[in-house]
Amino acid sequence: MRVLICEDEPEIADMLASFLAADGHEPIIALTGAEGLARFAHDSPDLVLLDVMLPDVAGWDVLTEIRKTSNRPVVLLTALGRLDDKVKGLSLGADDYIEKPFAWEEVRARIAAVMRRYRPVSPGITVDDLQKVVLVHGRAVHLSRKEYRLFKLLYSEPGKVFSHTEIIAKLWPRDAYATPQDVQKYVYLLRRKIEDDPAHPRFIQTVHGFGYRFTGQEDAP
Burial of 178 (0-12, 13-18, 19+ CB in 10 A): middle
Q: Is 85 in the site for Ca ion (CB under 5 A)?
A: no
Nearer to Ca ion, 35 or 51 (CB): 51
CA angle 4, 24, 43 (to 5 degrees): 30
Of the candidate spans 53-61, 82-90, 113-121, 180-188, the one that interacts with Ca ion by CB under 5 A turns out to be 53-61
Kindly tell me which of 31 and 171 has the beta carbon lying closer to Ca ion: 31
Of 35-43, 48-56, 120-128, 169-177, the window that binds Ca ion (rule: CB under 5 A) is 48-56
Contact status: 35 vs Ca ion (CB under 5 A): no
Integer Cα distance of 115 and 46 in angstroms: 9
Single out the residue of 35, 51, 85, 95 in contact with Ca ion (rule: CB under 5 A): 51
Question: Smallest distance, Å, CB 55 to Ca ion?
Answer: 8
| 53: contact with Ca ion by CB under 5 A | yes
Q: How far is the CB of 8 from Ca ion (least distance, A)?
A: 5
Least separation in angstroms between CB 50 and Ca ion: 10
Asked if 54 and 62 count as a contact pair (C-beta separation under 8 A), the reply is: yes
DSSP alpha helices (H): ranges in 125-207?
Answer: 145-156, 164-171, 180-194
Taking the complex as a whole, how short is the minimal distance between the CB of residue 19 and Ca ion, in angstroms? 18
Beta-strand ranges (E) seen in the chain are 2-6, 26-30, 47-51, 74-79, 96-100, 118-122, 125-128, 133-136, 139-142, 162-163, 204-207, 211-214
Taking the CA of residue 93 as centre, how many other CA atoms within 13 Å lie in the half-sphere pointing to its CB? Answer: 16
Only segment of 3-11, 119-127, 159-167, 172-180 that touches Ca ion (CB under 5 A): 3-11
Among 5, 8, 85, 126, indicate the residue that binds Ca ion (CB under 5 A). Answer: 8
| 98 near Ca ion, rule: CB under 5 A | no
Nearer to Ca ion, 53 or 168 (CB): 53
| DSSP conformation class of 160 | P
Query: What does the binding site for Ca ion look like in residue numbers (CB under 5 A)?
Result: 8, 51, 53
